[in-house]
Amino acid sequence: MECESISKKMVLYFNVFWNKLNVLGLILYYIALILRFLPMSECFCISRILFSIDLSLWYIRALDIFSAVKRLGPKLVMIQEMVKREIFNLILKVFLNKSHD
């Protein structure tokens, strides 16, 4: 299907969940990279949090790519579900560790 305008192409692109995840991962990475080099310690801490969330998103994306392999598929699905559950624990640990500093 041929789209005529850029806005229609953008709508079609963002209708796919994995494309939204890719864009979110890139945005988080660049925000974290900018915050990493700001001289305030709070920005460094926030950048570490954003990098950890971003890494989790890319792990989920990589697991989805490799789940097409029949031999690895079921194992990767189990790992993917585990990573989804552990994201909350990771974020919680980062915030709790920050509060003790």
- Poorest-pLDDT segment among 6-15, 18-27, 59-68: 59-68
Percentage of the chain lying above the pLDDT 90 cut: 13
Q: Residue 36's Cα: distance from chain center in Å? A: 17
Which pTM does this prediction carry? Answer: 0.62
With 60 as the cut, is the pLDDT of residue 99 above it?
Answer: no
Predicted pLDDT of residue 10: 86
* Residue 93 burial (CB count, 10 A): 12
Please give the Cα distance from 38 to 43 (Å, whole number): 6
